[in-house]
Structure 1
Amino acid sequence: GDAEIPRELRYLVERGTALGMELNASLESLQSLLDEASRLIDARQLGTAEIKLVRAGAEIEVARETLAELDEAVGALSRRLAFSVMPARLAQAYNQVTASLESLEALIEEFARLRQQLETARQAVLQSELIATDLQIEVLPLEVFWGENFTVTGRLTGGDAGFGGRSVLLLAGGRSFVVTTGDDGFYSLKTVAAPDDYSGSLAVTAYYRASGEDMSRYLSAESRTVILKVGFNTTRLEVTVPDKAFTGQPVTVYGRIVASDVTLPRTTRLFWDGASLAEGVFREEFSIGFEAPSSGTGEHVLEVAVLPRDSYAGTSARLPVSLLAGIISADIETPAVVFVPRTVRLGGQVFADGIPLENAAVNVGLGGGQSRATTSRGGSFEVALAVPFNLLMIGPQMLDISITPDEPWLKPLRATPTVVMLNPAAIGLLALSMLFIVLALIRRRAPLRQAVPVAAVAPVGLAGGGAVASAVETVSPAFAGERGRVLSAYLRALELVAVACGAVPEPHTTLREYLAVARRLDGAESFKELTGLAELVLYAPRLPASPLVSRSAQLADDIKRRLRQ
């Protein structure tokens, strides 16, 4: 391939390619001229045949020059490259030069044969003294509007006399007519100018072909070509085509036909890469639906064509469409750690087959909080998620992100990235649970009884006091300041209450549930109030402006005094 050719030599390859295309075009033109000359000689239109052969001779010289340049370019390239590493494209060029040379030689032989055939025909004419014919033509008027009449007249003469009773073939654009000459050789045709190419002109030519007995007496003739100007109405097309479609899904094309006569029904067709898709008949505004191909993703061309009708020319619009498979993907940026309660901000970009997806609904959920957003034109989105306070939300948690495209044929996407949630209040509650577990172990070692005197349980109280101190040290880092001191006062009182009532709180027991156990103790009111302060510390985002620390200390001291009386 080209990768084997040094950069400084690639211009030779490009030059050779261009020369090869020129040579092919020249050989095709030469073949066409020779075919026309052969037909004209058979019809004894020797003058016209000679013109074709003159042009063929000039085309032969052009082909020879082009072939020589191509051979030189290929030779220069081969001399600079070792034959053992000659790329496939160079070998192909050598083959093309050889094949083109053979074709040119064959055409030159045919050219020589036709020249000889033309000369033979001339000699035959001279020996047989065939009479030359002349065919004249006139077209009036020379400018008409589409659908209007025009008249073709002329005369066929043989020698100096009119040539009557002969058939004359008239070609007008894509239509043909046969008329018969009168006794004086005149002919006439009145017809309608209705060319189907709407090019603005119509070529009219007359032909006489000698047949029957005329072949031994007269030569054929061809008139000059008259160009008739033909006006017509134009048509404009306004069309809206989606820039992307999805395999196997419906697509709708909207448009409007703009013409001076909006009551004229017009056939409108859709083409996908040249293949017919659908069609309909409309007067002005239209919509045509079709199902996108189920395979062949990539870039395609959708053509909308309004066919011509009467004096109105047709028109078309070709628009690019990307065919996608409908695969949704997303790049989502999420924080690694989330502190609650707090507003979490995250964003990302959504794609459909690698193309940014617009107007997709994005829903994000975490810990009971929900937030919604819609992707922009570039497929991006941003959400602010307010995560509510929840003591159970701690450690790794999964974000629930769902993406629902606006297009119904695209499948929704769901992502569940993991974030680490830190909840200071939950950390404190975990420390309390550790205390309950420690007290449960104490209970197993020395079961408590109801209304046990303080002196009898002093050793257990000392052991429990050590556990409480340890738990308080664990809690303190998460509850600095007033919160930590209030919670420490509650834990000191909790140890005394547990020993006094002989009921160690289970790990799953809440602070408020444990109040029912201590309701008959002396100092129950103080413990109830202190429990309320502990709940305030654990659950309230802000502490009220009140002397919580001093009050909790007073309540703890009151409980201690009452239970040790």
Structure 2
Amino acid sequence: MKRVIVAILLSLTAVVTGTAVLAQPSRTPHEDPAAAQGSPDKPALLLSYMSVFDLAASRRYDDARRALAEIDKVDLPAELNYIMDRYNQLSQELFAGLDHLDAALAEISSLIDENQLAEAGRRLDLAQIAVDRNRFLYREIETATGVLLEVMGVFNRPDTRLADAYRRLEDSLKRLQELIDQLNELRQSLALRNETKGAGLAPTAVSLAVSVEAARLGDFFEVRGELSSGGEPLGGRRITIAIQGRETGAVTGPDGSYAAPVQVPFEYVSAMTLGAAYRPAGDDAAVYQGAASPPVILKTIFYDTELSAVMPGNAHPGYPVTVTGEMPAAKGSLSREIRVILDGILLARGPVNGQFSLDVAIPASAAPGTHRLRVFIPAQGWYASAVQEAELAVSRLPLEASLDAPGVSLIPGEIRVSGEIRGALTPPQDAVVGLEWTGDPATVRTGPDGSFAAALNAPFRLSVFNPLELTATIQPVEPWYEPIELRRSVFALNPIGAGLVLIVLVLLGTRLFRKPGVIPVRPAVLPLPDTAGEVMAPAPTRRALSGRKARVFAAYLVALGAVERVSGRPMEPFMTIREYTEWTGGLPAVASFKELSQLVEQALYSRHELEETTIRRAEDIGEAIRQELYVPAA
């Protein structure tokens, strides 16, 4: 939570100094929300408000409102939520009120300069109401500040960082109050200026009348009126006539009357406001007050434009869609222009008078997501504009692809790869396929049917068995398709390395299983055991085995050689494996050797294929016996 407040302070600092910073999230992504809500950095929060109030006190009202909106995003514990919402609402209202009052006082000053004293007086009355409203909001903020500080426990810890932040916030609020007082003083000075100036100037009056109650857009109509002062006509004075902010002029005759043609502007509203004003100029500025007529309302006549458009709900970047619809014909209608706009970008335009159909190409750069599609008919002459909008979901389509490669390959050598891609809308053509294996990457392009093929060279590796991965990255040319990546496992075998390993194994086996000198057996006649159902030991010239059985038998031979060397009792040809195991029962490793003997019997005569776990157990036992009998204990 502390990092959140620090981020807001950095944002406020950027607003004050004019330095651009990146927007920070309202809560750091790796921060626990529960922990964030439970431990807000209260001093930093108060300092954030201090910065906001300082912006407002310097009349940077928009910046203050934006900064306050950032604070409003902070997650707070329940006891602070309500008071903070109220605090932010009051502050936003005060900033808007100060902004409005500041602008109104500037306009009043201009009216006084133009001798528009009556209008200035009316607006000064409104400014007084605004001042009172701003003072009320400030008092409410002071009250809310007290409640906020009480909840935070500021008054219970006067010597902490929290108390220091409170004092700085208090100073900022005082500066804000000074601004409110300054604006009120400005209003008072303008009122005094308006009153003083009005005391030495003769009041004037101007009237305004129109020749029609309603008029079509673009038509001309006549306005008339009179200018007088104290009942006496004022001739030769310029009158300004305004309609919807557009001004035209007329000059009064000797009898103080004036008349002028006024054109109805092409603004498609049901009614317009007219007004006439007299602004003293030259010598008149020292003699007469300005005057403004009461407003006159003129009804306008124009035709609405009906539009009924059918827009797609889904689209894909770069792929065209069709927008259809109808603009029902109206009396005296003419050919109009229709525009299709996506997120403010014009995509298509064309004439329309009745039904229409437009093919619209969605920009290839359109990002996946929700966009705003707009069908717009601009206003023309007496006809108003028409618009219809809808959300458009833009997405890229997935490709269907296959990648064919051999499961086993020899290295060094060449591997041939092929594949095919298919699309839902159009056949993907000329797509870039990037292939990576153990060697240099290769790039190919798909043909008209979406297929591709390539030959990849693999470098030499010392390892005999190499499980490798083949990767194909497909980048379609069509922007409406999504790139895709395929992976395939290839088992690469090194025959040269395999031969070297075989030679080493043969040499090692020759050395390991070379028998020591024959030690004579004690001269005793041993009875021949009943070997029914037992397995005879293999002869010294062992028969060749392969596969998993060979691995078990090799483990047994390693252990047998160790037992023969240590016991001095070589296995005789007439002995069974089980018999020899019992004969060497006094050795330390006899239990393990007995288990290994059982495993080799199972390997030699079982009809079922051995499991990998059984083979690994035999290898582990053989290695353990070899180390125990050959390597002395530390």
Query: What range describes the TM-score normalised by the shorter chain of this pair?
Result: 0.5 to 0.7
Question: Residue 158 in 1 paired to residue 229 in 2?
Answer: yes
Q: 2:183 aligns with which of 90, 96, 110?
A: 110
Question: Residue 254 in 1 paired to residue 327 in 2?
Answer: no
> What's the secondary structure of 1:326's corresponding residue?
coil
Inter-partner Cα distance in structure 1 for 2:292 and 2:192: 20
The Cα of 1:321 is off from its aligned counterpart by 1.2
Q: 1:266 aligns with which of 313, 316, 336?
A: 336
Inter-partner Cα distance in structure 2 for 1:166 and 1:232: 35
The Cα of 1:326 is off from its aligned counterpart by 2.9
Q: Which is worse superposed, 101-110 or 221-230?
A: 101-110
- Structure 2, unaligned runs of 5 or more: 1-25, 28-32, 38-75, 158-163, 402-422, 428-477, 489-634
Q: Deviations over 1:332-377 (max 9, x none)?
A: xxxxxxxxxxxxxxxxxxxx9xxxx9x999xxxxxxxxxxxxxxxx
- The number of residues matched between the two structures is 339
Q: Is the 8 A contact 1:130 1:219 kept in 2?
A: yes
Residue 82 of structure 2 corresponds to: 11
Percent of aligned pairs with the same residue?
A: 28
Q: 2:268 aligns with which of 175, 198, 219?
A: 198
Q: Which is worse superposed, 269-278 or 204-213?
A: 269-278
Q: Output aligned runs, 1:409-424, within 5 Å.
A: 409-410=480-481
Q: Is the 8 A contact 1:53 1:111 kept in 2?
A: no
> What's the secondary structure of 1:9's corresponding residue?
helix
Q: Which is worse superposed, 31-40 or 17-26?
A: 17-26
Inter-partner Cα distance in structure 2 for 1:108 and 1:199: 41
Inter-partner Cα distance in structure 1 for 2:224 and 2:273: 14
The Cα of 1:415 is off from its aligned counterpart by 10
Inter-partner Cα distance in structure 2 for 1:99 and 1:279: 55
Inter-partner Cα distance in structure 2 for 1:200 and 1:98: 51
Q: Output aligned runs, 1:201-216, within 5 Å.
A: 201-216=271-286
The Cα of 1:220 is off from its aligned counterpart by 1.3
Residue 134 of structure 2 corresponds to: 63
Q: 1:222 aligns with which of 272, 292, 315?
A: 292
The Cα of 1:79 is off from its aligned counterpart by 3.4
Residue 364 of structure 1 corresponds to: none
The Cα of 1:217 is off from its aligned counterpart by 1.6
Could you tell me which amino acid in structure 1 is paired with residue 339 of structure 2?
Answer: R
Could you tell me which amino acid in structure 2 is paired with residue 110 of structure 1?
Answer: L
Inter-partner Cα distance in structure 1 for 2:288 and 2:227: 12
Cα distance change, pair 72–272 in 1 and its aligned pair in 2 (3 A): farther
Q: Is the 8 A contact 2:318 2:361 kept in 1?
A: no
The Cα of 1:205 is off from its aligned counterpart by 0.4
Could you tell me which amino acid in structure 1 is paired with residue 255 of structure 2?
Answer: D
Q: Which is worse superposed, 59-68 or 278-287?
A: 278-287
> What's the secondary structure of 1:171's corresponding residue?
strand
Q: Is the 8 A contact 1:132 1:159 kept in 2?
A: yes
Cα distance change, pair 414–118 in 1 and its aligned pair in 2 (3 A): closer
> What's the secondary structure of 1:144's corresponding residue?
strand
Could you tell me which amino acid in structure 1 is paired with residue 133 of structure 2?
Answer: V
Q: Deviations over 1:418-476 (max 9, x none)?
A: xxxxxxxxxxxxxxxxxxxxxxxxxxxxxxxxxxxxxxxxxxxxxxxxxxxxxxxxxxx
Q: 2:350 aligns with which of 269, 280, 299?
A: 280
Inter-partner Cα distance in structure 1 for 2:390 and 2:99: 33
Cα distance change, pair 124–54 in 1 and its aligned pair in 2 (3 A): closer
Inter-partner Cα distance in structure 1 for 2:194 and 2:147: 47
Could you tell me which amino acid in structure 2 is paired with residue 138 of structure 1?
Answer: A
Inter-partner Cα distance in structure 1 for 2:239 and 2:273: 16
The Cα of 1:36 is off from its aligned counterpart by 1.8
> What's the secondary structure of 1:14's corresponding residue?
helix
Q: Is the 8 A contact 1:239 1:256 kept in 2?
A: yes
Q: Deviations over 1:147-177 (max 9, x none)?
A: 4443211001122211111111100124321
The Cα of 1:98 is off from its aligned counterpart by 7.5
Inter-partner Cα distance in structure 1 for 2:335 and 2:168: 55
Root mean square deviation, CA, Å? 3.9
Q: Output aligned runs, 1:488-499, within 5 Å.
A: none
Structure-1-length-normalised TM-score: 0.52
Question: Residue 139 in 1 paired to residue 176 in 2?
Answer: no
Inter-partner Cα distance in structure 1 for 2:480 and 2:287: 78
Structure-2-length-normalised TM-score: 0.47
The Cα of 1:312 is off from its aligned counterpart by 1.1
Residue 243 of structure 2 corresponds to: 172
Inter-partner Cα distance in structure 2 for 1:243 and 1:96: 51
> What's the secondary structure of 2:253's corresponding residue?
coil
Q: 2:303 aligns with which of 220, 233, 236?
A: 233
Residue 103 of structure 2 corresponds to: 32
Q: Deviations over 1:287-341 (max 9, x none)?
A: 25243351532222122221111111112112111222333589xxxxxxxxxxx
Q: Is the 8 A contact 1:251 1:292 kept in 2?
A: no
Inter-partner Cα distance in structure 1 for 2:219 and 2:393: 45
> What's the secondary structure of 1:258's corresponding residue?
coil
Q: More strand per residue: 1 or 2? A: 1
Q: Is the 8 A contact 1:140 1:152 kept in 2?
A: yes
Inter-partner Cα distance in structure 2 for 1:10 and 1:304: 43
The Cα of 1:94 is off from its aligned counterpart by 11
Q: Output aligned runs, 1:330-479, within 5 Å.
A: 409-410=480-481
Residue 76 of structure 1 corresponds to: 147
Residue 557 of structure 1 corresponds to: none
Could you tell me which amino acid in structure 1 is paired with residue 390 of structure 2?
Answer: L
The Cα of 1:113 is off from its aligned counterpart by 2.8
Q: Is the 8 A contact 1:67 1:101 kept in 2?
A: no
Cα distance change, pair 74–186 in 1 and its aligned pair in 2 (3 A): same
The Cα of 1:225 is off from its aligned counterpart by 0.7
Inter-partner Cα distance in structure 1 for 2:350 and 2:169: 48
Residue 243 of structure 1 corresponds to: 313
The Cα of 1:102 is off from its aligned counterpart by 4.1
Could you tell me which amino acid in structure 2 is paired with residue 305 of structure 1?
Answer: F
The Cα of 1:104 is off from its aligned counterpart by 5.8
Q: Deviations over 1:180-237 (max 9, x none)?
A: 11111111123333x3331100100011111111112211111111011112211121
Inter-partner Cα distance in structure 2 for 1:97 and 1:60: 21
> What's the secondary structure of 1:51's corresponding residue?
helix
Residue 471 of structure 1 corresponds to: none
Residue 374 of structure 2 corresponds to: 303
Q: Deviations over 1:44-88 (max 9, x none)?
A: 22222122121111112222222333344354344334679xxxx
Q: Which is worse superposed, 240-249 or 221-230?
A: 240-249
